[in-house]
Structure 1
Amino acid sequence: MTLNISRTSNGLTVITDEMPHIETAAMGLWIGCGTRHENMDQNGIAHMVEHMLFKGTKKRTAEQISVESENRGADLNAYTSRERTAYYMHLLKDDVTFAADMISDMVQNSTFPDEEIKKEREVIAQEIGMYMDTPDEHVFDLMQEVAYPDQSFGAPILGIKEVLGKLEKQDMDAYVKRQYGTDNMAFIASGNVNHQKMVDDIEKSFSTLPQKSTLIDAKPDYRGGHHYEVRELEQAHLVLSFEGVSLTDEDYFAARLLAVLLGGGMSSRLFLEIRENRGLVYSVYAFNQGYSDTGLFGVYAGTGESSLTELLPVLCEELHKTKTLITEEELRRAKMQIRAAILMSRESPYKRANMIARHYLQYQKPLDIFEQIEKLEKVTVDDIKRVASRIFKGKPTVTALGPVGSLETYNNICGRFA
């Protein structure tokens, strides 16, 4: 992967990753702001703005945005996360200038029509309802809220209906002017692109963005705790998590390997012991979510009410075992899984662009895949044990949805890790 980097006269970083052997390109604007950068009384505005940028500009209606893109067979999309927002397009190589023009128009010239705001509030309310009715996803929103209470980092990305109902055009205008500065974003293009042409297109298209962003930000304060919500469901959905490590922590790759070793596939410890050997769950996995200055490490399990009492002690025991019992074979297999995932992602222009963007916004330098693999390969069995001991001595966060009335008390669970 050879990256070319330039900066426009307006201060916007342009990074290209040229893949001349393919017929398409993926490109977009990645911005270093998300839910954590909201005021609590405007929770959901980052996601609302992302939706509204598709609803009309000074020169295009909402319909024209979609029709012009689809006339070219392009896939125009966006996402909002806790720390980033992205607007991107995957399209044929001959249409890269169109992509730059479309994305710049949406970001710089959106009009936020009042009638569209009213409709989009209802659309997002439906989206919130869908997540509330999807317990294996909603339980993770609850986890975030309990782990980081009373702060934007723990607030739901989609927002809250009552708050969304109060957001107006002037709020969104102010948000974009405050957060969407060229010092906190990058335009990334991966695929069959020419670097200088891309820079020229961006120079021409992105001329009115402010150079400085004013981020509202505070270091997340992990506190932990619990939330049990009894619902009439067939399955109980349980997440047991702990404060993990940040993306810049020296233990990040060890924590990533620990998650794969514990619950990263059908050969993982949790799958073999809890599903295959004991038949206590249908779904079980571990996760390691790193952010810029904090992280969450945990496990998810979906089980029937009758298995809930037996499940938790076994789950906790498997976590404890990683402090002392790790084999070289397990570590080798986990390394190969992550290494393969990194290398396979190089075959997708969008995945490459997204990975480059995440890395650049986090570290302010180009992505080096092989540097990542080198760090991965240096992790030892002792590193895994040490990181497991570090993580599992912390205060847990426990969230559960469904028939969870028989779940043992939070204090008992804390006692298992004392």
Structure 2
Amino acid sequence: MRESVSLIVHGGRDSGPASSNGVEKKDRFGLSAHRQFSSGGAYANIPLSTPLPGVPKPIFATLDGQEKFETKVTTLDNGLRVASQNKFGQFCTVGILINSGSRYEAKYISGIAHFLEKLAFSSTARFDSRDEILLTLEKHGGICDCQTSRDTTMYAVSADNRGLDTVVGLLADVVLQPCLTDDELEMTRTAVQFELQDLDMRPDPEPLLTEMIHEAAYRGNTVGLHRFCPSENIARINREVLHSYLRDYYVPARMVLAGVGVEHERLVEAAAKHLLGVQPTWGDPGAVDVDRSVAQYTGGIIKLERDMSNVSLGPTPIPELTHIMLGLESCSFLEDDFIPFAVLNMMMGGGGSFSAGGPGKGMFSRLYLNVLNRHHWMYNATSYHHSYEDTGLLCIHASADPRQVREMVEIITKEFILMAGTVDTVELERAKTQLMSMLMMNLESRPVIFEDVGRQVLATHSRKLPHELCMLIRDVKPEDIKRVAGKMLRGKPAVAALGDLSRLPSYENIQAALLSRDGRLPRMYRLFR
């Protein structure tokens, strides 16, 4: 192959030393010795868009149309599901996803899932320390990570696919046989304390506001329970508390072993070897007591008065801002209305008051056109959609100077009312195209495909393929947006407020604005100013 490339580029090999006379040079580069595979010489008039005569037609490796997209799922004898998606390349991403998280902590000390996230990939029955685990992964070019959300815990490894058996064995050990030593628990307490302090001090309040809006929307139940460990519980969580939780929720029937970039048969073989008949360190689960509570949306308000004037000091400090997040119940990701809600969220869009991007970054979304471009004093207006297996929450985060909080809240309530109004065909098509583009671009990443496969199989025992989701997105009509928005507006609002709240409207006034035709807050009359 290299020789043929050399012939194409250089036009042939020298048959001998160059002669000093012109005749031999002419013979050497004349018609009798033209470059066989070049577009010059005898093929001077053939355009680049036309195949060259005499050049063999290339044959490329192909796959059956379904094979390259198919997600295969196998259930083992103990109830554990094994799901895989083939993807060519030297590396794979493999992990275990567990149906556990902060929403299942109602009868436990709050903060267990947060602790388990920090304890992940520590010492196990086979590995004496985290360093030994990392050195084992390093032999296969591997990295590891653990993430917990309100309803899912995910242990993942990316490594060379030739080390698949080692990786699955390591994951089984990390998930089912952690040592949870006293030293590791003490280090975790320090890490959790530091993360809580960082949450309170960071200039970006979005993670804290997300925690607050869930607490307001689902007061005291399921996804409204604390995702981060409360500071008063840090000292109370010990090995016995963790084992009691693990005994109920870290069971094979609540797990999925997902892999991307691996052959399904090899993954099933490794799973059967390392995850069948394994005795966890917390013993036989016996009668499992699982919380099967359905999320109960309550609505309400959570307020946190705080001095935000010194959040970010320096030559260009961030000005003092008050942050408001306003939300309404949407739907679960299992319902048909999930896709229209996703399109509505994309249509609202938004972001900060400064962006270096153009139309591709959502500069033509409603929250840019109607809010940030018209009200220069607003620093942020962003739409978010959180969706779970039994509920969902569509919310808008806005921030502005404390003196203009009332006007900011009214602008946001008006935008909620407008969601159920006229939907322009152009903006709807733009939002649908942007959602499909974001979906397909994200799914070019192997770790994202892994998470998508794992979460879908964990929730529904199967996976909707990207082209199926794109078809559902294309089918969304303006009347679908108006219908889901109208249904959403009939519910009670959830409000999270952070900063100087002296001018924050009452919860009753916000609720009245969302029930009105124009979204205006009730007028306030004072005898004395």
Superposed pair shares fold, TM > 0.5: yes
Letter in 2 for 1:223: T
Q: Which amino acid aligns with 2:291?
A: I
- Equivalent residue, structure 1, for 2:324: 238
Checking the alignment, whether the CA contact within 8 Å between 1:360 and 1:367 is kept in structure 2 is no
Higher radius of gyration, 1 or 2: 2
- 3-state secondary structure, aligned to 1:5: strand
CA shift at 1:105, angstroms?
Answer: 0.9
Q: Which residues in structure 2 correspond to 1:382-397 (within 5 Å)?
A: 382-397=479-494
Of 190, 202, 207, 2:271 maps to: 202
Query: Are 2:239 and 1:142 aligned?
Result: no
Contact 1:40 1:151 (8 Å CA) reproduced: no
- 2:235 and 2:300 mapped to 1: Cα distance? 30
Q: Percent identity?
A: 25
Residue number among 92, 97, 108 corresponding to 1:30 in the alignment: 97
CA distance in 2, matches of 1:240, 1:414: 11
Higher relative contact order (CA 8 A, sep 6+): 1
CA distance in 2, matches of 1:81, 1:213: 22
Alignment partners' CA distance in 2, 1:103 and 1:254: 37
Residue 395 of structure 1 deviates from its aligned partner by 0.7
SS of match in other structure, 2:144: strand
- Give unpaired runs (5+ residues) of structure 2: 1-68, 309-319, 351-361, 516-529
Per-residue CA deviation, residues 20-77 of structure 1 (Å, 9 max, x unaligned), is 2x22111100111111111354111122123223221112112212332245432200
Q: How much is the aligned-residue C-alpha RMSD, in angstroms?
A: 1.8
Work out whether 1:331 is the aligned partner of 2:428.
Answer: yes
> What's 1:104 paired with?
172
- Residues 68, 302 of structure 1: alpha-carbon distance in 2 compared, 3 angstrom cutoff: farther
In the alignment, is the contact (CA less than 8 A) between 1:42 and 1:164 conserved in 2?
no
Partner secondary structure for residue 87 of structure 1: strand
Of 69-78 and 112-121, more deviation after overlay is shown by 69-78
Q: Secondary structure at the match of 2:240?
A: helix
Residues 47 and 217 (structure 1 numbering): CA distance in 2 closer, same or farther, change over 3 Å? farther
- Secondary structure of 1:55's partner? coil
Question: Whole-Å Cα distance in 2 between the matches of residues 282 and 348 of structure 1?
Answer: 32
Cα offset, 1:150, TM superposition: 1.9
Aligned residues, how many?
416
The Cα offsets for residues 308-347 of structure 1, whole Å up to 9 and x where unpaired, read as: 2321212211221121121111110111111112211221
2:116 aligned residue? 49
Partner of residue 189 from structure 2, selected from 101, 107, 121: 121
Q: 1:291 to 1:152 in 2, by over 3 A?
A: closer
Look up the SS of the partner of 2:257 in the other structure: strand
Secondary structure at the aligned position of 1:347 is classed as coil
Amino acid across the alignment from 1:284: A
When normalised by structure 2's length, the TM-score is 0.75
Kept after mapping to 2: 8 A contact 1:43/1:152: no
**How do residues 280-291 of structure 1 correspond to structure 2 at under 5 angstroms?**
280-291=377-388
Match of 2:297 in 1: 222
CA distance in 2, matches of 1:220, 1:152: 6
The DSSP-based 3-state class of the residue aligned with 1:407 is coil
Amino acid at match of 2:189: R
**Separation (CA, whole Å) in 2 of partners of 1:344 and 1:248:** 23
Aligned to 2:236: 166
| Paired residues of 1:241 and 1:398 also in contact (CA < 8 A) | yes
Aligned-partner Cα distance in 2 for 1:321–1:294? 23
TM-score by length of 1: 0.95
**2-structure distance, mates of 1:152, 1:253:** 23
**Separation (CA, whole Å) in 2 of partners of 1:213 and 1:130:** 36
User: Aligned letter for 1:150?
Assistant: G
Structure (1 or 2) with the greater helix fraction: 1
CA shift, 1:97, in A, is: 2.1
Partner SS, residue 406 of structure 1: coil
Q: Is the 8 A contact 1:184 1:213 kept in 2?
A: no
